[in-house]
Structure 1
Amino acid sequence: MASNKLRINDIARLAGVSATTVSHIFNKRDKKYRISSHTRQKVLAIAEQYKEQSHIRRYLVKAKSTNTIGVIVPDMSNSFFSMFLHHLEASFREKNIQLLITCSHYNKEVEINVAQNLVERKVDAMIVVTSLDSDEFYMSINQHTPVLFFDRYIEHTTLPFITSEAIGSVAELIEPYAKTLNEFYFIGCDAQLTSIRARLQGFKQGLTNAGLTLASDWIICDSYCPNKGYDLLKRLHQKLGRLPKAIFTPSGNLLQEVLSYLVEVKVNPDQICLCSYDYNIYLDYSYYPIDAIAQDFQTMALICVNTIDDLLNFKTLKHNAIFIKPHIKRHP
């Protein structure tokens, strides 16, 4: 070879086949042109010996790709994840890439198992809403299958992640109400998660901006399970002997559970102020006026697609941490 850079003609010569055959294999046209699996394996084995060269790595990734991306979410019934998956699937479909969507049900062991199953299915990359406390497991996967965290991320991780900005937007959301009230309750779950922690930080910042001093018993948190928001508000109601004047929920499913309790006890909408992270169009028709933060699903989905594309092509990301600005939706 005239230079150290291996070319298709060089691989063809080493494999004893034509350059056209090598090109067909690298571009996944070997079945169309009835190239034998033996020839395919021989060509790829030679390319593997030179995969330290970036262009050869790209050839190998394309030749071995399954055009599938694995996605792990904790709960597909959650409206936020459903809307995100809707936009994500549409964005990848435009590139003829299919999603394999799995659910962890907020269970760490289940998450690890479904991630391993996705690897066994040879997905090209993974987008994960993780419930794990460490990135060690995904760092090992990332050595051969690119991993992108979404929504939640692990503090100090070197893996890329995409999430919505929370601190400033939550502070802006609740500040006008905090200025006119003498109490504001945060009813949330899983405060150890970075996304929830950021929303809690924004809640505290909003109170500070409004000049309202936070009382320790205004923060109501627990581990999440279905109907937890209902249970937390019911217990708070019993403890206070009345309902709180204002509530902020850091997720749409918790808001839904809080609303189910309010409906059950037939609370007058004028008696309570409700704010939440995660807007859904159905809130516009709610009996209770609700101000909410609407995440930009379409932008997040497009950035996920572009980031995965960069990772698969071994491009250096401009930013490992990407925060997407959400919008505040005020009730009429």
Structure 2
Amino acid sequence: MASNKLKLNDIARLAGVSATTVSHIFNKRDKKYRISPQTRQRVLAIAQQYSDQSHIRQYLVKANSTNTIGVVVPDMSNSFFSMFLHHLEASFRQKNIQLLITCSHYNPEVEIKVAQNLVERCVDAMIVVTSLDSDDFYVNINQQTPVLFFDRYLKDTKLPFITSESVKSVADLIIPYAKQLEEFYFIGCDIQLTSIHARLEGFKQGLKTAGLKFKHDWLVCDDYCQNKGYQLIKGVHEKLGRLPKAIFTPSCNLLQEVLSYLVEIKIDPNQICLCSYDYNIYLDYCYYPTDAIAQDFQTMAHTCVEVIDRLINFKELKHHAFFIEPKIIRHR
């Protein structure tokens, strides 16, 4: 060979086939042109010997691609994840790529198992909403299968992630009411997660900007489990002997559970101010007016597609952190 860079003609000569045959194999047209599995394997084995060359690695990835992307979410019944998956599936379908969706149920052991199953199924890449507290597991997977974190990301991770901006949007959401009230409660769960922690920081920033000093008693949180929001607001009600004047919830499922308690005790909507991260259309018709932050699912899904495309094609990312701007929807 005249140079160290392997060309299609070189692989064809080493495999004893035509350059056209090599091209068909690398472009996944071998079945269409009835190229035998033995010939395909011989060509790929030769290419593998030169996989240290970036263009050869790209040929191998394309030849072995399954046109599937693995997705791990903690809870498919959560309306946020359902809406995201709806837009994500539609975006990838336009590129003839299928999603394999799995659920971790907020359980790290289950998450590891389903992620390993996706790797065994040879997905081309993975999009993960993680419940792990370290990226070590995914850094290891990323050596062979590109990984993109979504919504929740791990502090100091070098893996790319996509999430909604939280700090400024939450502050802007609550400032008008914090200026009028002398208390504001944060009813949340899993504040150790980066996305939830950012919403808490935005909540504190909003109070400060409004001139309302944050009190530790206003932070009511726990590890999440089903109906936890109901339990937390009920506990506050019993402790105070009344409901807080204002409540912020950092997710739609917590808001739903808080609303179920308010409906149960039949509180007057004028007696409480509600704000939440995550918007759902049901809030437009809700008896209790709730200002909410609507995440831009379509832009997030399109960004996921763009980032995954660059990752699987060995294209450099200009940056690894993608914060998508949400918008505030007011009902009061």
TM-score by length of 2: 0.99
Q: Which runs of 5+ in 1 are unaligned?
A: none
**1:141 is matched with which residue?**
141
Shift of 1:55: 1.2
Cα offset, 1:316, TM superposition: 0.9
Quote the residue 1:160 is aligned against: 160
1:19-54 CA distances to partner (integer Å, 9 max, x unpaired)? 111111101111111211111111111111111212
Counterpart position of 1:215 = 215
SS at match of 1:220: strand
Amino acid at match of 2:187: I
Partner secondary structure for residue 102 of structure 1: strand
Distance in structure 1 (CA, Å) of the matches to 2:272 and 2:141: 47
Q: Distance in 1 between matches of 2:109 and 2:236?
A: 32
Q: What is the CA–CA distance in structure 2 between the aligned matches of 1:287 and 1:3, rounded to whole Å?
A: 73
Q: Which runs of 4+ in 1 moved over 6 A?
A: none
Corresponding residue for residue 33 of structure 2: 33
1:250 — aligned with what? Answer: 250
Residue identity opposite 2:78 in structure 1: N
Distance across 2 between alignment mates of 1:57 and 1:244: 59
Structure 1: how far apart are the matches of 2:330 and 2:312? 40
Describe how 1:181-260 pairs up with structure 2 within 5 A: 181-260=181-260
3-state SS of 2:317 partner: coil
3-state SS, counterpart of residue 149 of structure 1: strand
Q: Which residue of 2 aligns with 1:59?
A: 59
User: Deviation at 1:330?
Assistant: 0.7
Distance 1:228 1:31 in 2: 53
Q: CA deviation at 1:79?
A: 0.6
Instruction: Give the partner amino acid of 2:88.
Output: L
1:5 has 2:13 as partner = no
Residue 214 of structure 2 aligns with an amino acid whose one-letter code is L
Distance 1:216 1:124 in 2: 46
Alignment of 1:83-98 (within 5 A): 83-98=83-98
* Whole-Å separation in 1 of the counterparts to 2:105 and 2:112: 12
CA distance in 1, matches of 2:306, 2:123: 17
Distance, in Å, in 1 between the alignment partners of 2:93 and 2:62 is: 17
Write the letter of the residue equivalent to 2:120. E
Which moves more between the two structures, 49-58 or 295-304?
49-58
**What SS class does the counterpart of residue 71 from structure 2 fall into?**
strand
The equivalent residue for 1:69 is: 69
Distance 1:53 1:331 in 2: 57
SS of equivalent residue, structure 2 residue 148:
strand
* Residue identity in the other structure for 1:139: V
CA distance in 2, matches of 1:126, 1:46: 28
Alpha-carbon displacement from aligned partner over 1:160-202 (angstroms, at most 9, x marks no partner): 0000000000000000000000000000000110000000000
Partner of 1:306: 306
* Shift of residue 156, structure 1, vs aligned partner: 0.3
The one-letter amino acid paired with 1:63 is: A
AA in 2 matched with 1:102: T
- SS in structure 2 at match of 1:323: strand
**In structure 2, the residue corresponding to 1:76 is in which secondary structure?**
coil
| Letter matched to residue 12 of structure 2 | A
C-alpha distance in 2, partners of 1:182/1:269? Answer: 18
Secondary structure, aligned partner of 1:80? helix
What one-letter code is carried by the residue in structure 2 that aligns with 1:323? F
1:314 Cα deviation from its structure 2 partner: 0.7
- 1: distance between equivalents of 2:52 and 2:170? 46
- SS of 1:275 mapped into structure 2: strand
Q: Secondary structure at the match of 2:163?
A: strand
Q: CA deviation at 1:129?
A: 0.2
Please list, as runs of the form range in 1=range in 2, the aligned pairs for 1:172-183 lying within 5 A after superposition: 172-183=172-183
Structure-2 separation of matches of 1:32 and 1:258: 57
Paired residue type of 2:314: F
CA distance in 1, matches of 2:68, 2:323: 25
What is the CA distance between 1:233 and its match in structure 2?
A: 0.4
CA positional deviation for 1:253: 0.3
Q: d(CA) in 1 for partners of 2:322 and 2:32?
A: 40
Q: Give, in whole Å, the separation in 2 of the partners of 1:285 and 1:123.
A: 41
In structure 2, what residue type is equivalent to 1:92? F
Give the Cα separation in 2 of the matches to 1:171 and 1:160: 26
Once the two structures are TM-superposed, the CA of residue 76 in structure 1 deviates from its matched residue by 0.5
Aligned-partner residue type, residue 10 of structure 2 = D
